[in-house]
Structure 1
């Protein structure tokens, strides 16, 4: 009887432990060079089909402390993603442009490839499996 109880207890512990393991990843993003403390930094996580659309996979908003903004995307399935961020100085939750179409707020993308024009998927994409990933994006 003791053996049977021990077996069930160990089985229950094993099931609980395996249930806590996740096949999802965590991505921590840091922006170390935010100029000014006004507003927030807005982050968007995209896959290839949603890149630069109004419907990212996840969104986050970060306070700015000593010129640094930091967020974490959780429960991210393994795959290929890209991240954009903007310093939303006036907290209107969107990128602002001047009359000639140039952005008036700082922005950045994963891999820090800042060429002229809007961000490009091939420059911003990165792959993640189930580990934790730390990314730094410069504005």
Structure 2
């Protein structure tokens, strides 16, 4: 009976450790923020949530000397895209001019800056077997 309980405990511990090993971290640095006013906000998205709804994860950071670093932890393997913006006035939204042009700096993973709204296919990346470090430019 003791051997049976010990076996189940060992199997459970092994399964838990394997499931935790599959989760990774994504550390994102932006080092060209225009000024230290406000905060930088980031959102980790899938194709289903990118520019459409609530992100998988979100975070924000104060700015120090034009730089921020944010880490998303416990990210499951898969395909994602990150979008970030500088919320200068801290109103928790991206501000636009009357003609639709952004008034606050923004960027996305892969640093694609095409005209028009950000596109998931240009920003996507894969989380697989190792932690990631990304740099986003505004």
Query: TM-score if structure 1 supplies the norm length?
Result: 0.86
Q: Give the Å deviation of 1:14.
A: 8.8
> In structure 2, what is the equivalent of residue 64 of structure 1?
63
Is the 1:26–1:75 Cα contact (8 Å) retained in structure 2?
yes
Aligned residue pairs total 133
1:81 equivalent in alignment to 2:80: yes
Residues 13-67 of structure 1 deviation map (CA, whole Å, 9 limit, x = unaligned): 8965764452111000000100110000000000011111231000000110111
Q: Give the Å deviation of 1:91.
A: 0.5
Q: Give the Å deviation of 1:118.
A: 0.6
Which ranges in structure 2 are unaligned for 5 or more consecutive residues?
A: none
> In structure 1, what is the equivalent of residue 39 of structure 2?
40
> In structure 2, what is the equivalent of residue 106 of structure 1?
105
Is the 1:86–1:108 Cα contact (8 Å) retained in structure 2?
yes
> In structure 1, what is the equivalent of residue 53 of structure 2?
54
Q: 1:17 to 1:64 in 2, by over 3 A?
A: farther
Structure 1 segments, 4+ long, off by >3 Å, are: 11-21
Give the structure with higher Rg (CA). 1
Alignment RMSD, CA only? 1.9
**2-structure distance, mates of 1:29, 1:104:** 22
1:132 equivalent in alignment to 2:135: no
Query: TM-score if structure 2 supplies the norm length?
Result: 0.87
Q: 1:66 to 1:14 in 2, by over 3 A?
A: farther
> In structure 1, what is the equivalent of residue 29 of structure 2?
30
